[in-house]
Amino acid sequence: MSTLLDFIAFDFETAVTCVQWAACSVGVVDVRDGRIVDEYYTLINPGCAFDEHCIRIHGIHEEDVVDAISLHGVMAKLREMMDGRVVVAHNAAFDTGVMKHAMEREGVEPPDVEVICTVAASRRAFLNRQSYSLSKMKDLLGDFTAHNALDDARACAHLLLKCAEQVGADSIEELKEKLGLIPGHFSPTEFCHCKTKPMKKLKEKPNGKN
C-alpha cells in the first residue's frame, strides 16, 4: 500500500433497496499524491427490476441501463482498478457491501484493498458538525449533484483530502494515525469495516497530538 495520499474513491447507486448487489451505476476517482488523475463512470445493468424508492433518489430508470455494461463486467473492471490500493467511500460499509455481494453473485474474485470511510474520518477531523452526510458538507466541498455516483465519488475524494489538510497529514499512514482510524479490509479471505480508536487513546499520546 502506498504511503502517499494515494487512494481510489468510489460510490455506487443501487436499483433495489433490499438487494445489496443490485448496482445500477458506479463512479470511481483515482487520486495520486493528493491529486485526481483519472475518473470512471458507468451505468450498470444489474439484470433486475428497479424499485420506485431508488429511482426517486438517483433518477436512474430501468430503461436507462438496457444497453449498459453488465454487473459482471463492471465488477471485473473494479477488481482490476482497485487491487492493491487504498479505497475510500462515504459510509464505506454500504459501498464495499455492494461490491462484495455483487462479486460473490458474479463469481469475481475480490481485490485486496484497505478501506477508509470518510464518515469516520470527517467525524474526527471536523468535530461537532450537525451532520456528516455528504450532501450536508457542501460548505467544505463546494456544490455537487448528490446521488450521482461520479459526483459523490469526487466529493468523497475531496473530503478525504480536506481531512488530511485539516490535521496536517501528508500521507494515508499519517492520516490514519492522526485521526485514530483503523482501516477496514476487503480481500478474498477477509471483509471488515473501517473503525476508529477511542478518543481517550488518542488524547493519551505524547504532546496531546492525535
Dist. CA 120–CA 91, nearest whole Å: 8
* Buried/exposed 21-47: b ≥16 CB within 10 Å, e otherwise: bbbbbbbbbbbeebeeeeebbbbbbbe
Q: How many Cα atoms are found within 13 Å in the side-chain-facing hemisphere of 14?
A: 16
Does 2 reside within a domain? Answer: no
Residue 90 lies in a domain: yes
Cα gap 62→80, rounded to integer Å: 27
Q: Apex CA 196: angle with CA 154 and CA 6, to 5°?
A: 35
Q: What is the helix (H) or strand (E) element at residue 9, kind and residue range?
A: strand 7-14
Number of domains within the chain: 1
Look at residue 92 and tell me if it is in a domain: yes
The helix/strand count (H/E) of the chain reads as 8, 10
pLDDT at res. 180: 97
**Between vectors from CA 138 to CA 132 and to CA 140, what angle results, nearest 5°?**
85
Does 151 map to a domain?
yes
**Would residue 1 count as lying in a domain?**
no
User: CA-based diameter of the chain, in Å?
Assistant: 58
Under DSSP, is residue 163 helix (H, G, I), strand (E, B) or coil? helix
Q: Is residue 192 part of a domain?
A: yes
CATH number at residue 55: 3.30.420.10
Which residue range is the domain that position 21 belongs to?
7-208
Q: What is the pLDDT along the chain (210 residues), one digit of tens a residue?
A: 445 899 999 999 999 998 999 999 999 999 999 999 999 999 999 999 999 999 999 999 999 999 999 999 999 999 999 999 999 999 999 999 999 999 999 999 999 999 999 999 999 999 999 999 999 999 999 999 999 999 999 999 999 999 999 999 999 999 999 999 999 999 999 999 999 999 765 554 434 444
Half-sphere exposure of 115 (CA within 13 A, CB side): 28
What element of type H or E holds 173?
helix 172-179
Q: According to the model, what pLDDT value does residue 200 have?
A: 67
- Is 147 in contact with 58 (CB distance < 8 Å)? yes
Any domain includes 54: yes
With respect to residue 129, please indicate whether it lies within any of the assigned structural domains.
yes
Beta partners for residue 48, in sequence order: none
